[in-house]
Amino acid sequence: MSLEQGQILQQRYRVVAQPGAGGMGAVYRVWDTRLNVAVAVKEMLPQPGLDSQTLSQLRMQFRQEAVVLARLNHPNLVNVTDFFEEGGNAYLVMRFIEGESLAERIARAGALPEAQVVGWANQLLHALAYCHGEGIIHRDIKPQNVIIRPDGSVILVDFGLVKLWDPRDPRTTQTAVRGMGTPEYAPPEQYDAGQGHTDPRSDLYSLGATLYHALSGLTPPTVTQRIVNPQALAPLRALRPHISSSLDAAIQRALALQPNARFQSAQEMARALVGQGPVQSPSTPPPRFQQDTARLAPERHGVPLWAWIGGGGLLALLVVVGLVAAFSGGKAAPTSAPTPSPETEAVTVPPEPVDDTETPTPAPHPVTDTPAPTDTFTPAPTATFTPEPEYRGRIVFTRVPPDTRDGNSEIFIYDLDEDQIIQLTNNGINEWLPAWSPDGRSIAFSRYRVRSNNDYDIWVMDSDGANDRGEIVIDAWDDYPVWSPDGSEIAFISTGITSDVPNSEVFVSNRAGTLRRLTYNTGRDEWPDWSPDGRRLAVGSNRDGADYDIYLFDTNGDNVSRWASTGAFEEQPAWSPDGEWLAFIRKDRDTNGNGVLERRDDGDFGDIWIGRVDGSDFRQLTFDRRAADPAWSPDGRYLVFTYVSDSSADGYFGLDDMSELWVVPVAGGEPAPLLRSAFQDTTPDWGW
């Protein structure tokens, strides 16, 4: 039975609307009343009249889908957060993905630009490399299951046909069998009755068919049509002559009917898509993909055929059986017909009303520790390929160039779209720590002022460097400005006195110039950053009297918690655009050679780590203690950071050395230079 708008599940999830249904499930947009966030809830929706044993099998398979997805953690995959049963039915709760499906984009725009499609393909191949490394095969990649987010990133959804894959056992472990995929995108081996012959190359075929559709604007032929007529699949360049020959060849190889003729891994396909690898078929497949055809297929306990097809579908099924049997040399015929899986439609959920009244708190706040276990700190998986990404947007940063009036740092922009560097300031005054406003029209920064105490103030200028004005000009040392997500306030650090001890605290200034003090302690609070929903702030602080840790608190100063206290030196937190992660710098040794482990501004560098906001799933992204100043790309796929070199040739990394802007993929991979220079390029902030 369909859920009704306003219906509450588990005393927590309120149904907002039903955006899409099909196959074996319906997906609802739902409001999580406990966390005040939008989520998607997938309901198991079997065909009416099934017997109790079949229903039990379906429920078990649906639960297995939840178990499989819950263990996945990748920025281009949908995240499962909950599973429950209610009213005799089963439900799976997922992160809500706003955007449109690739199928909708193709229907609206037709054939899509090559550069755009290749960029999406690289993201999906990163996700597939991760899935295959975890032993998981998707088995239903198609345009309907690729969601394009407003920031340009793509998410692979709907693992309803997922299989667990053991490279040591060619038979493949069956976990969920509700159909054989969509005929236009499913490879021929997916129709094998034994369910033992799909492997990662099957996903690469489906992705190739998806890319073919996106690049040509035409639905690819089914494997049945291709077996009957080998010329049914026209080369891309015959349909769209402007497509590069290397890309055409790569798609053709991905769509080879024989698995051994395809790419043998997602990494290999990614290299070929950007012209960094061969596209011809290998002469011999890697050993782990060789199929033992003499081995018996495992015993099946799937859902009966009659549960999925009617009499009209049976005739079509028999045609496919004959064709696939002919193709496979007499293998057993499939025992179930292709059944479309439910498609997740991206929609916009109206936000819940939030009481955003701010109340200054004139007293210290209690701190609650939220420690992350030290054994959860494991290196992020390193990709075996590094295809050239398509970076977009503008990066504002600080540089000390040779042509400034006094050798002080100045503010620059690196326009990635135009590959152009623009100098915004050159006035004989030290300026640094630039931060984009949310609308990209203004830049806040810290400017040195010569007066009695020679301090810094917070200034704002237009994005072209014009109309600079003092925003926060008080008799104190003010640094580290960062805009609230709605652009109405600026958080910053200012010198203060707490318990007669000079220190630095977090303040917020609104457009009227009214200041609010948020923290009260005897240590240093530095490098604040807003959560994307505007409700929390993160800072690096040594308020506990020892090393620096990351602290989180509400924007009125309440609910202070120490985040991921591990005994290491951790600072410079940066919130991911989706609000789920924090990037930060972690240090474990002195790098500038003075014998003391110090904060970034005093000269010690470290490595970039990320961790979930709930204090779990920590990953190390760099490994040579030369990083600082992490900032997320707007699409959440990369971190740009300061990368220091030993230009002084003294064997150490410190403030006297040159530095460049580098990037590292959040999903794992090798850091790479973004902006080479012989200067000190630091403190980047990435915007559109």
Band (pLDDT 50/70/90 cuts) for residue 284 is very low
Work out the angle at residue 54's Cα, subtended by the Cα atoms of residues 53 and 56, and round it to the nearest 5 degrees.
65
For residue 382, what pLDDT band results from cuts at 50, 70 and 90?
Answer: very low
**Which of the following CATH numbers is that of domain 8-95: 3.20.20.70, 3.30.200.20, 3.30.2130.10, 2.40.50.100?**
3.30.200.20
Q: How large is the average pLDDT for residues 378-388?
A: 35
- Residue 657 annotated as catalytic: no
Each domain of the chain, given as residue ranges in start order, spans: 8-95, 100-285+309-328, 367-687
C-beta neighbour count of 34 within 10 angstroms: 10
- The two most distant CA atoms of the chain are separated, in Å, by 91
pLDDT per residue over 449-503, tens digit each?
A: 765 456 789 999 999 999 999 898 887 889 999 999 999 999 999 987 666 777 8
Active-site residue, selected from the candidate residues 32, 51, 82, 140: 140
Residue 56 — pLDDT band, cuts 50, 70, 90? Answer: confident
- In this structure, the number of other CB atoms found within 10 A of the CB of residue 345 comes to 22
Please report which confidence band the pLDDT of residue 584 belongs to, taking 50, 70 and 90 as the band edges.
very high
Cα distance between residue 234 and residue 620, in whole Å? 45
The pLDDT-based confidence of 81 (bands split at 50, 70, 90) is confident
Does pLDDT of 332 surpass 50?
A: no
**Choice among 157-166, 240-249, 439-448 with the minimum mean pLDDT:** 157-166
Predicted pLDDT at 484: 95
Q: Is 580 helix (H, G, I), strand (E, B) or coil?
A: coil
Q: What CATH superfamily classification does 367-687 receive?
A: TolB, C-terminal domain (2.120.10.30)
Residue 124's H or E segment, with its range, is: helix 114-133
- Mean predicted confidence (pLDDT) in 97-121: 91
Pick the CATH number of 100-285+309-328 from 3.20.20.10, 1.10.510.10, 1.10.1380.10, 2.40.30.10: 1.10.510.10
- The pTM assigned to this predicted structure is 0.50
**What pLDDT was estimated at residue 178?**
41
Whole-number pLDDT of residue 49: 64
The 3-state DSSP class for residue 533 equals coil
Look at residues 305, 336, 340, 307 and name the one whose alpha carbon lies nearest to residue 22.
340
Cβ-count burial 130-161 (b if 16+ within 10 Å, e if not): bbbbeebbbbbbbbbbbbbbebbbbbbbbbbb
Of 14, 19, 688, give the one whose Cα is nearest residue 348.
Answer: 19
Q: What pLDDT, on the 0 to 100 scale, is given for residue 288?
A: 29
CA 115, CA 62: separation in Å to the nearest integer? 37
Give the neighbor-by-neighbor strand order of the sheet with 536-541. Answer: 367-370, 560-563, 549-554, 536-541, 525-530
Beta bridge partners of 410: 399
What crossing angle do the helices spanning 266-273 and 245-254 adopt, rounded to 10°?
A: 160
Please determine, for residue 315, whether its predicted confidence score (pLDDT) is greater than 50. Answer: no
Distance CA 482, CA 506 (A): 11
